[in-house]
Every structure is written in structure tokens, then in C-alpha cells.
Amino acid sequence: MNGESSPEGLPQTPAKASTPSINAAAAQTSDSRVSALYGTSAVKRDRRTKSELATLDAAIVTAVETETPVTVRGVFYRVVSAGGVEKSEKGYGAVQRRLLHLRRTRVVPYSSITDGTRLRLKPDSWSDIDQMLADAASSYRRALWDDQDVDVIVVCEKDAISGVVYPVTAEFDVELCITRGYSSETFTHSIAQTVAGNTLRVDAEPPGKRPPRQKGWMCDGRP
């Protein structure tokens, strides 16, 4: 008999198996401690029924057809006006998700939605000189305001409606500036430089709710 073997006649003690009830109690205690530490979630997940989703989808399609091209936020505003969702981040998220679904299922064309917050940049290039000259000739447009007594700049706060406003300003060769709410100092300065470089008198009328409250304000080429 070597020293590593157990003595003869003495039964070996089997390993103790874990008790399921004890494990369940331990897990419940752990969950209770986590809930006490972080608290229960206050977010209530409300799921729309198929009928409610169909109604929301119809409101989104109507909004897109009424104002095309349009941004996602522009669709949201129209759906809110139609009573489709509440004006909140939750409502915006619902419109955003359903609009994405409608685009992926080809109910709403991708071309109907614009995104002015992201850019694709590439320099112009041509296969040869002839193509360049042909493109230059087709893109030529006379500057309509060079011989006028005034310059016109349209400043729009909402990027959501830029897809509707721009075709109108483009038709009349008018510059459209999108501020997206509170404008940055850099963007405002660039507009002021355009005004300052113009020796003509500039008449501007601010939007209705902005100060000053008088009918219009005047500046003589100063930013």
C-alpha cells in the first residue's frame, strides 16, 4: 500500500452537490441588491397595435407626398400636426423608425427624404476637354441680380423645409441660408460679410417672433 492511496475499508466522502433552492434564493437576493442599488426602470414600453401602426404609416406617407423632398424632422412635424404622434422625443423616434421601415419596404422612395446635415465631397472632373466645355455651357446661368438695386438673401431657421424652399429661391437665383435654430457665430459672420461687401442699402425684415418688434430694420452695409 503506498502513501497516496486511501486506507482500505474507509469509504470516500462524495462531493456535495449544490441545492437548487439555495441557488434560486441566492440569485433572488442578488437581484434585490441590484434593484436597491440602481432602482427599477421608469421606462414603460408601449407597443402600438397593427392598426395603430397602419394609421401612423398612412400619416407618414401623406406627409411625404405633401412636401417632397423633406427631412425626417419635417415629416415628424407634419405627422404631429395631423395628430399622429405627440410632439416629443418618443414621438420623433416612432416616426423615424416607421419612416425607415417604409423606405426599406419601398413604400416611400429614398429620393423623397433629404439629409442636409451630412455632405458628400468630390471635386468636379471630366473625361476630356470637350465634355468639360459641354457641361460648362449647359450649366451657364446669367446672374439675375447683378444689375438690380437690391440683393436678396433668404434666411431659413428650419432645415426641415429647405427641400421645399430651395427650388423657389433657386428659380430666382436667390441665396438660401439655413441656420438650424440658433446660428453659429461663424455662419452669421459669413452672412454679415456678404452684406458688408455690398455698398447698396440693405432692407431686411426679421421673422415675426424675433426682436426688434418693429416692422423692419435697416442697415447700411454694416454687419
45 located within any domain: no
- Same domain? 215 vs 150: yes
- Same domain? 89 vs 153: no
- Same domain? 208 vs 154: yes
Q: Give pLDDT, residue 185.
A: 80
Q: How many CB atoms lie within 10 A of CB 163?
A: 18
pLDDT in tens, 53-92: 999 999 999 999 998 888 899 999 999 999 999 999 999 9
213 located within any domain: yes
Residue bearing the bigger pLDDT, 198 or 46: 46
* Domain carrying residue 57: 50-112
Phi, then psi, of 195 in degrees rounded to 5: -70, -45
32 located within any domain: no
203 located within any domain: yes
DSSP result, 86-126: -SSHHHHHHHHHHHHHHHHTTSS-GGGB--TTS--------
* Closest-CA residue to 108 (of 100, 96, 116, 97): 100
- Same domain? 214 vs 151: yes
42 located within any domain: no
Rounded mean pLDDT, 37-47:
59
Domains contained in the chain, number: 2
- Same domain? 97 vs 158: no
Least confident of 52-56, 60-64, 180-184, 208-212: 208-212
For strands 217-219 and 202-204, give the pairing.
antiparallel
Q: Whole-angstrom Cα distance, residue 10 to residue 200?
A: 112
Q: Whole-angstrom Cα distance, residue 24 to residue 128?
A: 77
Residue type for position 113? I
Q: Whole-angstrom Cα distance, residue 221 to residue 121?
A: 33
- HSE, side-chain direction, 13 A CA sphere, residue 6: 5
Q: Give pLDDT, residue 30.
A: 55
Residue pair 113/71 in contact by the 8 Å Cβ criterion: yes
To which residue does cell 405627440 refer? 86
Rounded mean pLDDT, 104-121:
89
180 located within any domain: yes
Q: How many CB atoms lie within 10 A of CB 19?
A: 9
Q: Whole-angstrom Cα distance, residue 73 to residue 106?
A: 20
pTM (2 d.p.): 0.55
* Closest-CA residue to 108 (of 56, 38, 60): 60
pLDDT band at 94 (very low <50, low <70, confident <90, very high): very high
What is the share, in percent, of the chain residues with pLDDT greater than 90? 34
C-alpha cell at 155: 434666411
166 located within any domain: yes
196 located within any domain: yes
Q: Give the CA distances from residue 11 to residues 2, 7, 8, in Å, rounded to whole numbers and listed in that order.
A: 17, 9, 8
Q: Residue 9 above 50 pLDDT?
A: yes
Alpha helices, DSSP H, located in the chain: 20-38, 50-66, 72-81, 89-104, 129-139, 162-171, 185-196
Residue finishing a domain among 65, 95, 112: 112
Residue finishing a domain among 112, 136, 164: 112
